[in-house]
Amino acid sequence: MARQSVVASRAEQLLGTTVVATSPVAGGDIATAVKLRLSSGRSALLKTLSNAPPAFFATEAAGLRRLAATTPAGGLATPEVLAVADDCLILDWVETGRPSAEAAASFGRALARTHQSGVEQLGGAQFGAEQDGYIGRLPMLNRPLPTWPEFYAERRIAPYLKVLRDKAIMTPAQVAAVETAAARGAQVVPAEPPALLHGDLWNGNVLWTREDGVVVIDPASYGGHREVDLAMLALFGLPQLTQVMAAYTEVAPLVPGWEDRLGFHQLFPLLVHACLFGGQYGARAAQVAQRYL
């Protein structure tokens, strides 16, 4: 590992300790990531983003801490937040390994317990959160609403659908299909109290560790329907998903028919991906929406 002086100096300001080496980390779609080796022998991850949106890293740090508060009760594990500023976030380094059945089962149980923790740390029993957040670089509206169908249609579908409509990324017919499906939430999704969600639980945000464990990163947490996290895990092909779900349902059984409802909650990440990466995801969302019309 070499030492990038600018990056190292910024980390030293925030951590109050010497950075002896740095190296770039591949794979980040949004932020630039750098591995730090500290004089103590500890390793850390620094994430930085030029012209980051307001409170971008502070929101991520708050989400990590919110989820970490469930860890003592058997909930999800997250990397420790070492420092946060407007321009960067520094986390404890996670050594990754290969997915295993044991880790998958542990992850499923931990996810269920985090969901069961409810919204005590979110400041209320409604769906949403006290503050808006981000999904990728996109704003994510969290102002609470009393029911999940209202919240999902108005906060998770409508804002991104408007962007896609205004930019002509989706056709009027595709937009109408998604709008109509989203409006049927009360008929599609069983009523449940809010769960504490990770909120952006795709495969890339699930780190399998060398100790047969799982650590989650990059949350967009809020109080929502627990099937949202499960739908996102299924959408992007989490390894060992069968084992994860078996362990999850041992702790927190799901209302029958949940497999058929996954597509309904996949509309949200598909629209987000359409906003970020292009129209193929919008067309896919419209196709999925047809199942719920």
> What average pLDDT is seen over the chain?
94
Q: Where is the domain boundary, 92, 121, 155? A: 92
Say what the pTM is: 0.95
Same domain for 133 and 276, yes or no, is yes
Number of domains in the chain: 2
Q: Please tell me the predicted confidence (pLDDT) of residue 211.
A: 87
Same domain for 188 and 273, yes or no, is yes
Same domain for 88 and 115, yes or no, is no
In this predicted structure, the answer to whether residue 52 has a pLDDT above a threshold of 80 is: yes
Cα pseudo-dihedral 5, 136, 280, 178, rounded to 10: -170
Q: Where is the domain boundary, 32, 63, 92? A: 92
Q: Where is the domain boundary, 45, 69, 92? A: 92
Catalytic residue among 87, 92, 166, 200: 200
Residue owning tokens 């959160």: 129
Calculate what percentage of the chain has a pLDDT beyond 70.
97
Same domain for 150 and 276, yes or no, is yes
Same domain for 149 and 167, yes or no, is yes
In this predicted structure, the answer to whether residue 120 has a pLDDT above a threshold of 80 is: no
**Residues of the domain holding 217:** 101-292
Same domain for 86 and 136, yes or no, is no
Active site residue 200: yes
Q: How confident is the model at residue 28 (pLDDT cuts 50, 70, 90)?
A: low
- The CATH number of whichever domain residue 26 belongs to comes to 3.30.200.20
Q: Please tell me the predicted confidence (pLDDT) of residue 6.
A: 87
Exposure string over 153-175, b if 16+ CB within 10 A, otherwise e: bebbbebbbeebbeeebbeeebb
